Structure 1
Amino acid sequence: MDPSETSRSRTPSNIAAYFGRLAGTYGDGAYYGNRRAAVLDALAGEIASARDMLDVGCGNGAYLTKFVAAAGNRTVTGVDLTFDMLLSARERVGPKCRLVNADVSRLPFKAASFDFIFASHVLQFVADVESVVAEFARCLQRGGVMIATGQRDDSVRQMLSVIVGQEKWREYREVIFRRAERREADARPKDRYQQAFLKAGLRVEERAAPFTVTWPEIAEWINIRWRPLIPADERERADAMIGELAKMGASQSLTQHEPLIIGRRDG
């Protein structure tokens, strides 16, 4: 989204249009793959025992493919606001799960329909976290578990701003990340998520999923996540910057942590 937009502009149509441009590639590459593998490993026990799974904001199906492939018998449902994302998800997953086009704030399911609800990088795009979490919790069975990721993609941008220095970061921000959504002043979004989970009547725990990435993998992430949003007449300059970034400490690994907020409904 353009920096002039604020959280008040997080309307369903704006969000759908924003992610529609990323439907074919979102979640691809080593950065996303490493992060996803770490999350799946951290949640292996909960996934193994799930029987009715819901992936809210499933996007193009990156997690859905893993859920349907997991050992055991289960039904898997994916929900997303962006129709193009769902088309891509269908290509990836095939007929192995149900896909639903819906606004995550108004899920078209009966109460207590699922024993496992997963929302990866969804809550940062909603204006009213408490009401959306309450809607998720409405669909959760007794004894079920609900998981949301607590990290925002701008944590990587914050890391870059420190490493490359202020002058270089101003160039990156202007050319590559100018269309990043402006965030409200909220240094610890996961605290808000935890509070929303508690208000929805869930027992809450936090779990970290550590993963490592290299500089070339971060450059690849920028190409996948941000380059499609850069106007064509600015891409040559952006490509030069991304190329410079890929050469920085090419063999150096950086550790990131994906925080998981886990809520359980008592049986």
Structure 2
Amino acid sequence: MDSSENASLGNRRPSPVAEYFGRLAATYGDGEYYGNRRRAVLETIAGEIADARDVLDVGCGNGAYLAKFAAAPGNRRVTGADLSIDMLLSARNRVGVKCRLLCADVSRLPFKPASFDLIFASHVLQFAADLDGVVAEIARCVRPGGVLVATGRREDTVRQMLSAIVGPDRWREYGEVIFQRAPRREAAAGPDDRYQRAFAKSGLRVEERAAPFTIQWVDIEEWIRIRWMPVIPEGERQQADAMLAEVAKAGASRSLRLHEPLILGMRDV
């Protein structure tokens, strides 16, 4: 970003979601859980990445995926868009000048129609109040022959496992101390096929894939410390640490086979 771009970004008032994730800009996506999941996703869409010459990562965060898109074999232009200034500044530190970055709302993208061969949206649609409208806006920017790749809805296996280990009463305490401060996931309230129907309504041909990966229980503890501890008030962190120690002891020898569900929307030529 040049100085004028930075100045214009600084004048924007952040949305609650942008403000929330901005607090995680330095570390979001770090650790084995996120790393293994990211590698699985990249392997699953390797063909789409190889074919793309113009790539857009909407909700790019601090650039963890952007760096991989830019480093993939072949020549391509990579653009990242996010609502959070802090995330974009962290992304700039990660990717240098390899990618174009801009502050943008996914419901009002500042691009001409049919601008990109591949548009990637990792854990973005879950926060869309108007899912159909957001998907239509993203789909508008997909070229003929291009594809929109987004994460789909999934069972929260990690939290289900935590609940099974500590029991329902203790789990409610975990929810109050550790997990209650996440921003509301608007699209999560819809039916299971809501994403697929939104893609089809936008004129995209729908395909579903699963990106499997394995993590150890210690990776879950690391994930909680990276993802959740920074947003827990200082006065409650001692209690959260005690809860993590309890889980680490109960689940030390466990491993989990998970998958990241992906929905691909192809724009026919």
Q: TM-score, normalized by length of structure 1?
A: 0.91
- Per-residue deviation, 1:164: 2.4
Cα displacement string for residues 202-251 of structure 1 (whole angstroms, at most 9, x for unaligned residues): 00010000111111100110111111110000001101111222233323
Rounded Cα–Cα distance in structure 2 between residues aligned with 1:143 and 1:133: 17
Tell me if the contact between 1:215 and 1:247 (Cα under 8 Å) persists in the aligned partners: no
- Closer, same or farther: CA 189–40 of 1 in aligned 2, 3 Å: farther
**8 A contact 1:207–1:260 mirrored in 2:** yes
Q: Does 1:115 align with 2:141?
A: no
**1:83 alignment counterpart:** 85
Instruction: Mark the CA change 1:30 to 1:176 in structure 2 (over 3 Å): closer, same or farther.
Output: same
What amino acid is the match of 1:139? C
1:172 to 168, 171, 174: 174
2: distance between equivalents of 1:72 and 1:93? 17
Which position in structure 2 is the counterpart of 1:3?
A: none
SS of alignment partner, residue 259 of structure 1: strand
Structure-1 residue corresponding to 2:7: none
Provide the secondary structure at the position in 2 that maps to 1:147. Answer: strand
Partner of 2:208: 206
Identity of aligned residues (%): 72
- How far 1:155 moved relative to its partner? 4.8
State the alpha-carbon separation in 1 of the partners of residues 252 and 142 from structure 2.
Answer: 44
**Gaps spanning 5+ residues in structure 2: where?**
1-12
How large is the Cα RMSD of the aligned pairs? Answer: 1.9
How far does residue 188 in structure 1 lie from its aligned partner after superposition? 7.2
Instruction: Decide whether the 8 Å contact of 1:23 with 1:59 is kept in 2.
Output: yes
Residue 8 of structure 2 is matched in structure 1 by none
Size of the alignment, in residue pairs? 257
**Does structure 2 retain, via aligned residues, the 8 Å contact 1:150–1:189?**
no
Unaligned runs of 5+ in 1: 1-10
Residue 117 of structure 1 aligns to a residue whose secondary structure is: strand
Displacement of 1:19 in angstroms is 0.7
Q: Equivalent residue for 1:8?
A: none
Tell me the CA shift for residue 167 of structure 1: 1.8
Aligned counterpart, 2:249: 247
Partner of 1:237: 239
Take 1:24 and 1:142, find their aligned partners in 2: how far apart are those partners? 36
Match of 1:31 among 30, 33, 41: 33
Matched with 1:195 is 197
8 Å contact kept, 2:33–2:215: yes
CA spacing shift, 1:218–1:153, aligned 2, 3 Å: farther
Q: Give the Cα separation in 2 of the matches to 1:47 and 1:82.
A: 25
